[in-house]
Amino acid sequence: MAWYVDDLLVVRQDEPGTVLVRVGFDDRESLLAAYPETFGVPPRWEAHMKVQADLDGDRAAICEAIRLSWAAQRRG
């Protein structure tokens, strides 16, 4: 499962029970600070504009991350 806008990733399935959301570094840091139980950045993604979301986490926060990603891709 993956969703792209103009060939740029918005969200895709990652490890079991998680999705990977493309967000800017500032948005990523804000999400990590506000929802540490929902979002994380595994070492392999540290250099990338992505955040990993635990699907058992805060659903509204995950939806917000996806909205942020979609909005950023549309501004492109």
* pLDDT tens digit sequence for 11-26: 999 999 999 999 999 9
Phi and psi of 59, rounded to 5°?
-65, -40
* Secondary structure tally for the chain: helices H, strands E: 2, 5
DSSP at 37? T
What is the average pLDDT score of the chain? 92
Question: How many structural domains comprise the chain?
Answer: 1
Residue of 47, 44, 40 whose CA lies nearest to 21: 40
What's the domain range around 22? 2-75
Would the pLDDT of 76 be above 70?
no
Phi and psi of 53, rounded to 5°?
-115, 130
DSSP, collapsed to helix, strand or coil, labels residue 17 as coil
Cβ atoms of residues 73 and 6 within 8 Å: yes
Considering the chain, what percentage of its residues have pLDDT values greater than 90?
78
Length of the chain: 76
